[in-house]
Amino acid sequence: MIKKYNKISFLLFTLLLAIVLSAKSQSHTIKGRVTDKETKKPIPFVNIGIKEDLIGTVSDMDGMYSLQLKKGDYTLIFSSIEYEKVTMKISLNKEKIITINAELKSTVHNIEGVEIASKKFDQKIEESVNTVDVLKPKLIESKNTQSIDKIVDQVPGVAIVDNEPQFRGGSGYSSGLGSRVMIMIDDMPLLRADAQRPVWDFMPVELVEQIDIIKGASSVLFGSSALNGAINVRTKYPKVEPETNAEIHTGIYNTPKDKYKKVWEGFNPITYGFSFSHARMIKNFDLVLGGNFSSDPGFIATPPHDPLNPSVNNAEFNRQLRLNFNTRFRSKKIENLTYGINGNFMIDKNAQTYIWYDADTNIYRSYPDAYTNFSDLLFYIDPYIKYYTGKSASHDFRNRIFYTNSDATNNQSSRAIMYYDEYQFKKKFKKLGNLLLTTGVMNLYCTSYSEIFSGIVGVEGLKCSENAAAYLQLEKKFFNRLSILLGARYEYYNIDKYEKGKPIFRAGVNYRLLQATFVRASYGEGFRFPSIGERYIATTAGNFGIYPNPQLEYETSQSYELGIKQLFKIKKFVGMIDLSGFLQNYQNYIEFNAAIWGTSQYPQNNLGYKFLNTADARVLGAEISVLGDGELAKGVTLTILAGYTYSLPQCTEPHKVYYYDKLQPKVIFNYIETSTDTTNYILKYRMQHLAKFDIELGIKKIFIGFTANYYSFMQNMDNLFYDFDRPGYFPTGIVKYRKTHDMGDVVMDARAGINAWSHFKFSLIINNILNTEYSLRPCKIESPRTFTIQVSYKT
């Protein structure tokens, strides 16, 4: 299989190299950058042509272009959809290289910085057929975000529950295994390939240029794990002027509201850290460097009088050091050819808890032995090569080698390496009315050698998986109003000799009803294969385990969405209001099931989870969101991100028996028998109501921000926790806790700061300002109030 994989990679590379070397050189060169006249931001994929000839090119992702011509006089034309055409007269005589920059004026009201940055399918956010939210570095910096999940959790319709992303109720709790949301860095997956688990702390926050959150089935675009959507983090490259950013922070945990629940001795736990980034152009070479160090002692302590670990506050902590870089060479010999290597490295020591000790005085302590210590090494290396032809086409060959090594207690050590390759071709056909074709092939191969994913507790084993796909997407605009999108993908999976291939499709339309009003409709299919982790995980912690299921099969889905987006502008403040309705159906749904799985004669020692294919399900709902940014008056700015999401996640076959346990022939596994609350057949571990609100007001050099998030009560969970919540079995106190905490939770944050000098900013951030005691996932408490002071430097 590896030999086959290497041959495919070699053939793709040889093909691209042949295309690049076929480029012709001319005697004169014109080059420059194309930008938006109002926002000053670069415009990608602008057509640059010569009126007197068929010669032309297209701007790259940074708006840069280059065109070679012979001596003479020409008419240079810059054109792009939704921008006014710009025409220039030029004369090429003696000068070999001429720089010509162009500013294009938009023909519609666009919001600054809300273009979708995904290099796979570039389009403006208002023209997308899916719901898309975009986060810019400004919000990340002002909230002192140290991990990507903390900022993504601010987006309407998104909940990060115990590190796993839930989009619009499409997923429940699964201990971070088998994500239905694809997580990407620069359009390449960053889920651990053996577990399909997000690695939030590893993502380079210090290099973020933009984060795109795409909701709804996106498997045609991004593959199997994008069943509910995708998160794409785009990292920065240098601009014309060098840029340096740095920040240092320190914080402290507040004592919980009920002081008798305090679990640490002496002074409260203190967090601290720093990060930096530097970006600059050096002739034809672009370089970005970044790094981060952070230390968080955590707020969860070990069980009282723990003989295995007597220290008082280390059941959950995190210390990490991360270094990263981006490089890009712009070829001097071959115009429009760029290539480079990006990389990210991290060492990390952390501990994670699984279940609280009890819901009373020890809610901030771990259940005995239910915590695991990890010592991790992670890195990825991304070699790539890109070539923009002179005929509105581009070739993109990108690769990733992603390595993880985790030395852990509780027989949870693992090593995995992922090889990812993708070739993509994109072309705009002018004679067909600027029909945009995007097509490509990809291959992902993973090897996992571990204790935790071997299928047998404490025994190391080797597991391999392979995912290959070919995709095609067509986008066409009619009458400068109607956009139509059609896409298809064939996905192939092989995991431990279990293989399956399946085609999936998507379609969507977007219509500009009025000058700044856009309506959309979309349909997308999903096909998700279980990960190595979901099939073969075998571990125990605190008499509670996760058991393997080698017979676990794939799941499928169909997603529908209707939406309308209204852009508006009040002086220099621009924004948008988005309203959407969504429906997603699932077949062969994969869910975490808590039950008695072990073989011990004592039932309390056999408790745990197992992944099962369950009954069909459906998620129906609606969402409204508001995004705005700009200047209200001279020296007064306002930024707002808010939204409300209602979802109705239901089991459509509540009486279907989906599993038989040979060890327990009398036990029935269906929705009715395994749920604590079957009202309206709501799926387990879901929150039906999510409300998010964030606002920041700037007055000259001072800014003040406020965040409020509402998470509704998680109505249903596995009834095993209720059945065994008694002395001598599994006394977590969950039954009493849920009866007294059944109104949902409101969590508020605040921040304020001052731009003291031209380059420095001082900030105070208070998270959970009311010191609310809340739990997003049953049997795990969230953080009490924290205070953080941050000093930032930016050129």
Instruction: Say if residue 618 is in the same domain as residue 747.
Output: yes
List residues bridging with 22 in a β-sheet: none
- Mark which of 43, 78, 104 sits at the end of a domain: 104
Type of residue found at 394? S
Instruction: Say if residue 555 is in the same domain as residue 641.
Output: yes
In a domain, 59, yes or no: yes
Instruction: Say if residue 342 is in the same domain as residue 367.
Output: yes
In a domain, 40, yes or no: yes
| Nearest Cα residue to 299 out of 254, 260, 259 | 254
Instruction: Note the pLDDT of residue 112.
Output: 37
Instruction: Note the pLDDT of residue 323.
Output: 97
Instruction: Say if residue 171 is in the same domain as residue 43.
Output: no
Instruction: Say if residue 50 is in the same domain as residue 140.
Output: no
Residue 6 corresponds to which tokens in the numbers above? 């290497």
pLDDT tens, 158-191? 998 888 889 999 888 887 788 899 999 999 999 8
CATH number of domain containing 36:
2.60.40.1120
Count CB atoms within 10 A of the CB of residue 350.
19
In a domain, 495, yes or no: yes
CATH number of domain containing 458:
2.40.170.20
Give the Cα separation of 604 and 593 in Å (integer).
16
Instruction: Note the pLDDT of residue 134.
Output: 86
In a domain, 109, yes or no: no
Domain that holds residue 33: 2-104
In a domain, 330, yes or no: yes
| Nearest Cα residue to 372 out of 349, 339, 393 | 349
Task: Tally the domains of the chain.
Answer: 2
Instruction: Note the pLDDT of residue 602.
Output: 63
Pairing outcome for strands 555-570 and 572-587: antiparallel
Alpha helices in 82-214 (DSSP H): 137-142, 148-152
Instruction: Say if residue 574 is in the same domain as residue 606.
Output: yes
Instruction: Note the pLDDT of residue 317.
Output: 93
Instruction: Note the pLDDT of residue 24.
Output: 41
Instruction: Say if residue 96 is in the same domain as residue 225.
Output: no
pLDDT tens, 704-762? 999 999 999 999 999 999 999 988 888 899 999 999 999 999 999 999 999 887 789 99
Give the Cα separation of 593 and 491 in Å (integer).
27
Instruction: Say if residue 76 is in the same domain as residue 121.
Output: no
- Mark which of 104, 125, 159 sits at the end of a domain: 104
In a domain, 77, yes or no: yes
- Mark which of 74, 104, 134 sits at the end of a domain: 104
Instruction: Say if residue 147 is in the same domain as residue 47.
Output: no
Which portions of the chain are predicted below pLDDT 70?
1-27, 52-55, 61, 81-82, 107-123, 306-313, 390, 542, 600-605, 663
Beta carbons within 8 Å of 175's beta carbon, 6+ residues apart: 162, 164, 546, 592, 609
In a domain, 110, yes or no: no
Give the Cα separation of 442 and 692 in Å (integer).
36
- Contact (Cβ atoms closer than 8 angstroms) between residue 762 and residue 791: yes
**H/E element, 11:** helix 2-21
| Residue with tokens 């700009």, as numbered in its chain | 630
pLDDT tens, 101-156? 999 887 543 333 344 433 444 567 788 888 888 888 887 888 878 889 889 999 99
Expressed in percent and rounded to 5, the helix, strand and coil fractions of the chain are: 10, 55, 35
Instruction: Say if residue 319 is in the same domain as residue 447.
Output: yes
In a domain, 80, yes or no: yes
| Residue with tokens 């666009």, as numbered in its chain | 110
Instruction: Note the pLDDT of residue 26.
Output: 44
Give the Cα separation of 342 and 479 in Å (integer).
41
Instruction: Say if residue 626 is in the same domain as residue 536.
Output: yes
Residue 237 corresponds to which tokens in the numbers above? 């490259």
Instruction: Say if residue 99 is in the same domain as residue 159.
Output: no
